[in-house]
Amino acid sequence: MIPEDKIKELKDSLLSDKQRLEEKIETLSDMEFGDAVGTDNEDADETEEMANTQSTIDLLEERLERINDALTRIEMGVYGVCQSCHKEIGVDLLSVDPESTLCKECKAD
């Protein structure tokens, strides 16, 4: 079992990650849908920039989903259990990657 205080620590880190991601996504969404009017960018540049912004948002949302998953697992009391082999995910791995759903062995596969 993962010690309670360690889970609390990881949860705090997940929650602050989550907040940071949500703020970032909001900022990027504003950039994308906000007033691009008034800039002297060529249309092509602007389209490319928007595509980059969208793919960045996609990546961030993917990460956010993983974080929300991890938080749900904490609530359900199944946090830190490998979803593949159902063994415990080591605390050392969770410290580096708190939203990990796989143990070291399964990750390596």
The dihedral sign for the CA sequence 89, 93, 94, 100: negative
Tell me: does residue 85 bind Zn ion (CB under 5 A). Answer: yes
How far is Cα 74 from Cα 62, in angstroms, rounded to an integer?
Answer: 19
Tell me: does residue 81 bind Zn ion (CB under 5 A). Answer: no
**From 10-18, 51-59, 81-89, 90-98, span contacting Zn ion (CB under 5 A):** 81-89
Q: Evaluate whether 22 touches 68 at the Cβ level (below 8 Å).
A: no
Q: Work out how close the CB of 101 gets to Zn ion at its nearest, in angstroms, rounded to a whole number.
A: 9
Measured CA distances, 49 to 12, 41, 43, 74, 104 (Å): 34, 10, 10, 37, 37
How far is Cα 60 from Cα 67, in angstroms, rounded to an integer?
Answer: 10
**From 15-23, 35-43, 68-76, 83-91, span contacting Zn ion (CB under 5 A):** 83-91
Tell me: does residue 106 bind Zn ion (CB under 5 A). Answer: yes
- Which of 7, 82, 98, 99 binds Zn ion (CB under 5 A)? It is 82
Q: Work out how close the CB of 78 gets to Zn ion at its nearest, in angstroms, rounded to a whole number.
A: 14
Q: Which residues bind Zn ion (CB under 5 A)?
A: 82, 84-85, 103, 106
